Amino acid sequence: MEFRHLGRSGLLISEIAYGNWITHGSQIEEEAALDCVRAALDVGITTFDTADVYAGTKAESVLGRALKGERREGLEILTKVYWPTGPGRNDRGLSRKHIMESINGSLRRLQTDYVDLYQAHRYDYSTPLEETMEAFADVVHSGKAHYIGVSEWKASEIRAAHELARELKIQLVSNQPQYSMLWRVIEGDVVPTSQELGVSQIVFSPIAQGVLTGKYLPGQEPPAGSRATDTSGGATFIARFMSDEVLTRVQRLKPLAEQAGLSMAQLAVAWVLQNPNVSSAIIGASRPEQVQDNVKAAGVKLDAELLKAIDEIVEPITERDPAKTQSPAQRP
């Protein structure tokens, strides 16, 4: 496993992080989830990403049980706040009330005294940014989180939050966006701004919900048991990538993966890690062997010729519009 600094902080995280969006507490049984976490630990992953909203708070509880007994100082545990976690009008957003109540709930479910990174899961347009950042500062100064991050924030929002964080003497070190060969909306504005400010990307969906594995074939029904057939929510998020045009071009990546000595999934994960502003790629898994396969992308260097060949294949199907940041359809 290779490790990278998170932003300009001294914190090192594993290039491959394990995330439990969709899977833990919903798509797979707990024993399978625990097997996947054990597999992640066995291959050297130390960074684990979750959120209070995943599986209606169940995902944090599963992760907490899976990591129980591990040396806490050897792990980096990341969680998030924003989406509704209860029926009340204040059980959502980035108000001081919700942040303070949510961090306590997350720590209880994760069975830990602190998280390494506490992230604003989306920007809250109904709460003053000053209120949000002051609450985050109190979370950090009370020892309940070491660092602050955001997820799917626009460049201007990251800049404003970063300025407030400096004034409040806390470190805003990361953004967690969707990023893959097929979804490159952060490259135009978010990445240049983040590089200037010393903020890293911790990216989700590097395999485009599984599409970049090549297992979905144009003109054919999705394989039984795959995410595209998941009625609990997985199929909703993968739908944008399931056109025959996209699937046909993805098949053309197979010879390039073979040429590089990589599986399709490894190629996809290695591709996002070529971006120097990316500190870690989050992988999810429903089976331990998926973890064992994806982790082999750590430390891989793709040469310029291969990267150019990939671009030539996927450019017609790649989304680059910065306005697609914070798409309402995304809830990872």
Which residues does residue 49 pair with via DSSP β-bridges, in sequence order?
19, 78
Of 83, 74, 95, 11, nearest to 50 by C-alpha is 83
Has 54 been annotated as catalytic? yes
Q: How far apart are CA 204 and CA 202, in angstroms?
A: 7
State the catalytic residue, choosing from 18, 54, 118, 147.
54
Question: What SS3 state is found at 155?
Answer: helix
**3-class secondary structure per residue, the chain:** CCEEECCCCCCEEECEEEECCCCECCCECHHHHHHHHHHHHHCCCCEEECCCCHHHHHHHHHHHHHHCCCCHHHCEEEEEECCCCCCCCCCCCCCHHHHHHHHHHHHHHHCCCCEEEEEECCCCCCCCHHHHHHHHHHHHHCCCEEEEEECCCCHHHHHHHHHHHHHCCCCEEEECCECECCECCCCCCHHHHHHHHCCEEEEECCCHHHHHHCCCCCCCCCCCCCHHHCCCCHHHHHHHHCCHHHHHHHHCCHHHHHHHCCCHHHHHHHHHHCCCCEEEEEECCCCHHHHHHHHHHCCCCCCHHHHHHHHHHHHHHCECCHHHCCCCCCCC
Give me the active site residues, please.
54
